[in-house]
Structure 1
Amino acid sequence: MNKPQTIDEYLALVDPTRREVLNQIRTLVKQLVPSAEETISYNMPTLKYKNRPLVYFTASKNHMSFYPSSWAMEDFKEQLQDYKQTQHAIQFTLEKPLSEKLITELVLAHKQYIDAGRKA
């Protein structure tokens, strides 16, 4: 099976309900950062800003994941405490989605870090 080369190709492989949620995230991020470029990186849909990953998002069998940067996650750790997390990702489900407000805050926080030139 060929790996998706675009976000649209990736989303076409995702079940319709999860596809809708991921597409809503994609649309929101593009509204927040209109200059964000779409690509696939590490086999995940990625939106890049100033040639750096701004966010990744994925669908897995039992959850979806949103990768806004560990820095942004640290900034909003209290709001994220009810979600399972890895160092770089927030896992969520259809039953417990990420709110538009929280996604907005995470994206804008990471954008500010990129604008400030922060590196790992």
Structure 2
Amino acid sequence: MRSAVPPSEQIATADESDRGMLERLYDRARALAPTAEDSTSYGMPALRYRGRPLVSVMPTKAGYSVYPFSAEVVATVLPLVEGFGSTKGGIRFTAERVIPDAAFDALVAARIAEIDAALGH
């Protein structure tokens, strides 16, 4: 397994078919959390917000997965992605059936709120 790289390097080295998806979603996350920084977390490329992992988007064999590093956030967003595959830690989607922008934004916003609450902000 390749060692984790930050999102900017992940995008730069991604297959052309994945690059657009990764750029789009990381740009959306950065728009919601402008102070987020490129990093890694749990062996995955990730944006960090206030020093905590915010979100990771990864290409997979079957498409893509988005990980907010919080089972609670995944559970909160699941009603917005009915019919999409999910695990306790992430939501799966494909290029043909992309996670809706509103659901992705809700996922990032919920994780930001969770981090802020944990840090007393």
Asked if TM exceeds 0.5, the reply is: yes
Match of 1:108 in 2: 109
Q: Contact conserved, 2:63 with 2:93, CA < 8 A, in 1? A: yes
Cα drift, residue 19 of structure 1: 1.3
> Residue 32 in 1 paired to residue 32 in 2?
yes
C-alpha separation in 1, matches of 2:58 and 2:116: 25
C-alpha separation in 1, matches of 2:108 and 2:118: 15
Q: Contact conserved, 1:47 with 1:55, CA < 8 A, in 2? A: yes
C-alpha separation in 2, matches of 1:3 and 1:12: 15
Q: Contact conserved, 1:84 with 1:92, CA < 8 A, in 2? A: yes
Match of 2:58 in 1: 58
Cα drift, residue 2 of structure 1: 6.2
SS at match of 1:72: helix
C-alpha separation in 1, matches of 2:103 and 2:18: 18
Gaps of 5+ in 2: none
Amino acid at match of 2:116: D
Amino acid at match of 1:87: K
C-alpha separation in 1, matches of 2:14 and 2:43: 13
What is the CA deviation profile of residues 54-92 of structure 1, one whole-angstrom value per residue up to 9, with x for unaligned ones?
111101122111012221121122122311111101011
C-alpha separation in 1, matches of 2:72 and 2:57: 17
Give TM-score scaled by structure 1 length: 0.87
C-alpha separation in 2, matches of 1:42 and 1:70: 14
What does 1:1-120 align with in structure 2 at a 5 Å threshold? Answer: 3=3, 5-68=5-68, 69-117=70-118
C-alpha separation in 2, matches of 1:2 and 1:90: 22
Q: Contact conserved, 2:59 with 2:65, CA < 8 A, in 1? A: yes
